[in-house]
Amino acid sequence: MRLRDHPALSISGIPSWPPVWVRRRTKATQKLYGELGVFAGSVFNESIPTAIFMKMEFKAREYMGFLSVGDAVFCLQLDKLLNHHIGRSIEEIGDIDVSVLL
């Protein structure tokens, strides 16, 4: 199963992939939508065990996206897996086979 198709990636039944990307380090909120840019890493916060904050670079600018994950164990496993794919396009990240995590 590809990451983008995994049923655990949702918020109240609405898919959370791909994340909405919000520009970092700027006063005005700039958003991007879709599988854009290059994956630059993720941040897992134990106080929010069903969320991954993904970093992405697009046209020399940094963006952050919020990925909601329906299961805390899967979320932690996914975060570890994602960080092995830094430098790949977001589209390639969406293609990752996550069936090993099921």
Whether the predicted pLDDT of 72 surpasses 80 = yes
For 16, the domain range is 3-101
pLDDT band at 102 (very low <50, low <70, confident <90, very high): low
Query: Of all residues in the chain, what percent carry a pLDDT higher than 90?
Result: 84
pLDDT band at 23 (very low <50, low <70, confident <90, very high): very high
In the three-class reduction of DSSP (H, G, I as helix; E, B as strand; rest coil), residue 67 is classed as: strand
pTM metric for this prediction = 0.91
pLDDT for 27: 73
**Which residues on adjacent β-strands are paired with residue 65?**
21, 54
Query: What span, in angstroms and rounded, lies between the C-alpha atoms of 74 and 91?
Result: 20
Task: Calculate the alpha carbon distances from 43 to 13, 51, 55, 67, 76 in Å.
Answer: 23, 9, 8, 10, 10
Q: How many domains does the chain have?
A: 1
